[in-house]
Amino acid sequence: MQERTIVSTKRPFIGTSWKMNKTRAEAAAFCQSVKASPLAACENAQLFVIPPFTVLTAVAEALADTAVIVGAQNAHWQTAGAWTGEISPLQVKDAGGMLVEIGHSERRTFFNETDETVALKTAAAVRQGLTALVCIGDTLEDYQAGRTAETLRRQTEAALSKVEWTDTTSVIFAYEPVWSIGDGGTPADPSFADEQQAAVKALIERAIARPLPVLYGGSVNPTNCVELATRPHIDGLFIGRSAWDATGYLGIVRNVIDRLA
């Protein structure tokens, strides 16, 4: 199992969530391809993979001797109890996860995730020593009404509001415009994304007097990955569809690290 912590400021982070995809065999095949690549030992970027709970332990074990961090797509704010269908941060850690994604727009939209539950979950995840990867993002309505900055400020402040900070507390943000995610999504213009991320980073520094990485996610692909990842305030990429097969994922990693070398 993986024992490292990720307070790393290594830039860039490049990771993928598989969302509700992959059988055990498909997950194993992905891990095998990653392990066969020299990028499995990559030191120029912090790679991470976020599989579904059903294969979390298998993926964590398969990638244990690589530089790839493994995480979960969600976790509850309680450590244990009568919460049918939920998984606690303690269980994520016990299953081999080092990181937990919190507040993805699909959870906010379809599973009633709120700023309050994101705050509770973020605090609970870091209490267990997990890295919290907090997703924030404006809806199309926000974007069209010019409310992007306001929404990001509200979500960011809420996510940070309950965290008890220590030297090893590890929180990462991902700016993921809701209008850019998934089929039919439009990738954000890199300058627009960079501008939003600069504002989020400044807000974080004001709020907690330390910098935190802010990644970009939403329709990242082999063509736009370098332009996004090389913007000054984009600390990495969080990828869905284009990284669900290992070749696609490794191709994006290669494109980005070659450019940053």
Q: Which residues are near ligand LAUYXW4J by CB under 6 A?
A: 17, 19, 104, 135, 176, 181-182, 185, 217-220, 238-242
233 included as an active-site residue: no
CB of 206 to ligand LAUYXW4J, least distance (A): 26
- Residue least distant from ligand LAUYXW4J (Cβ): 240
- Which one, 96 or 103, has the nearer CB to ligand LAUYXW4J? 103
Annotation marks residue 205 as catalytic = no
- Which of residues 97 and 217 has its CB atom nearest to ligand LAUYXW4J in the complex? 217
Give min distance, CB of 219 to ligand LAUYXW4J, in A.
Answer: 4
Q: Strand locations in the chain, DSSP E?
A: 13-17, 46-50, 69-72, 99-102, 131-136, 171-175, 214-217, 236-239
CA distances in angstroms from 197 to 148, 149, 190, 231, 236, listed in the order given: 11, 10, 10, 10, 11
Catalytic, out of 101, 104, 106, 113: 104
Rg from Cα positions in the chain: 17
Nearest distance, CB of residue 3 and ligand LAUYXW4J, angstroms: 25
Q: How far is CA 90 from CA 17, 123, 188, in A?
A: 20, 13, 35
**Token output for 27:** 């997950």
CB 120 within 8 A of CB 77: yes
So which residues are the catalytic ones?
104, 176
